[in-house]
Structure 1
C-alpha cells in the first residue's frame, strides 16, 4: 500500500472523531444559539423603540464588519486581560454565536419585512394579538423564504469552525495540524481534512435542496387552499 494512502487511512479515524466530538457540536450549538439571537435582534430592529434599535444596529455593524478570526482572538486572548477567562470551546461557541447572530438577523429581518402587510391586518381582524400573529402567521411564511439563505449560512459555519483551531479548540482541522507536526506530511493531511469538509458540505447541500423542495411544495399547497 502506498505510504500516502496508509497515512490517510491511519489519520482518518482521529480526524473523524475530532469532527464528531468538537466540529459538529460546535456547529450545531453555534447555529442554534445564533439563530435565536438573530431572531431577537431582527425583531428588535423591526419593532423595538429607537434606543434598542440603535443598540441592535451597532451589534450587527460590529460583528458583520470585523473578521471572525479577530473576534475569536478578542474573546479568547483579549478578555483575559480584563479578568475574564474562558476555555477554548466556550470562547469559540460565544464567538461563532455572536457572529452567526449578526448575519442571521439580517436574513430574518429581511424575510419578516417581506411578508405583505395584509397578513398582519388579516391576523388582527380575526382577533390575534401581535405575538399570535407573529407566531402563527408571519414567522411560518417568513421561514419558508429564509430556508435557502440560512442553509447557506449553516454550511458556511461548518467550514468556518476550522478557525477555532487558532484558539486551540481540538476540532478537525487542529487535529490535522497535530498529526502534521508528528508526520511532517502537511499536503496529505490537509487534503484529507479538506475532503472531510467537502463531504460534510456536500451532504448538507443535498439536504438543503430536499428541504427547499419540501417547503416549495408546502407553499404551493397553501396557495392552492387559498
Structure 2
C-alpha cells in the first residue's frame, strides 16, 4: 500500500491553492444565494398571480430552466451567450473574470427555478382565507402578498431553502468545467502538480462535507427553534 502523506498539501503553495478554491466556492454560494432568492420570490409570485400571462411566464421559466442540466447552463453562459455580443464587448468580457461571472449567472438562474417552487409551495400553504381577508380590507394582490402572505410563506420555506442552499454549495463544483477557480478546479491543479490524488481529493471531500454538514445542522436547528404554526385566519 502506498504511503499517504497529507503534510505536503497542508503547507506552501498547495495549501494556498486549496484554500483559495475553498473560499471562492463559498463566495460563489453566497453571491448566488443573494441573487437567486429575490428572483425566486418574483417567479413564485408570477406563478400565483391572477393574470394568466404572468402565470405562463413563471411556468415557462421554471420548466425551461429545470429541463436543462446545470452543466449546459454553465457552458452556454461561458461559450454561447458572449458570442451574441459585439466584438468589443466580448473582448472586454474575456479580458476580465468571465469565468466567475458566467458561473454566478448560471447558478443563479438554475437555483432560482428550484427555490421558486419551494416558495410557491410555502405561499400555497398559507390558508387562502388570509388572502381573502387582506383583499377584503382593500389590499391589492401584490400588497396582500407582501404584507400578509409572503412573510409567513418565507418562514415555512426556510428549511427547504436551506436544503437548496446545500445543493447550491455542491453545484459550485460544476463551475470547474469553465475554468472558474473554485475548489474542484484548484484540487485538479494540486493533483496534477503533486501526484497526490488520494490525499488531494480526500481533503476536498472533507471541505465539501464540512460545509454540507454545517448547512444541514443549521436547517435542523432552525426547525427546532422556529417550528411552523399557521393560523387558519
TM-score (norm 2): 0.85
- 1:16 — aligned with what? 19
**Structure 2 unmatched ranges of 5 or more:** none
Instruction: Provide the C-alpha distance between the structure 1 equivalents of 2:50 and 2:173, rounded to a whole number of angstroms.
Output: 36
TM-score (norm 1): 0.88
Q: In the aligned structure 1, how far is the partner of 2:50 from the partner of 2:38?
A: 17
2:68 is matched with 66
Rate the CA distance shift 1:124–1:138 in 2: closer, same or farther, 3 A: same
Deviations 1:76-121 (A, max 9, x none): 0122332374410010000000001111111111211221111112
Q: Which runs of 5+ in 1 are unaligned?
A: none
Deviation at 1:157, TM superposition (A): 0.6
Paired residue secondary structure (2:180): coil
1:5: which partner in 2? Answer: 6
Deviations 1:145-190 (A, max 9, x none): 2111111000111111011111111111111111111111222111
How far apart are the structure 2 equivalents of 1:150 and 1:63?
18
Q: How many aligned residue pairs are there?
A: 219
- The residue that corresponds to 2:158 in the other structure is 147
Match of 2:42 among 40, 43, 58: 40
Q: Is this contact kept in 1: 2:159–2:219, CA < 8 A?
A: yes
Give the number of the structure whose residues are more often helix, by fraction. Answer: 1
Alignment of 1:86-165 (within 5 A): 86=93, 87-165=98-176
CA distance in 1, matches of 2:66, 2:20: 32
Q: 1:48 to 1:166 in 2, by over 3 A?
A: farther
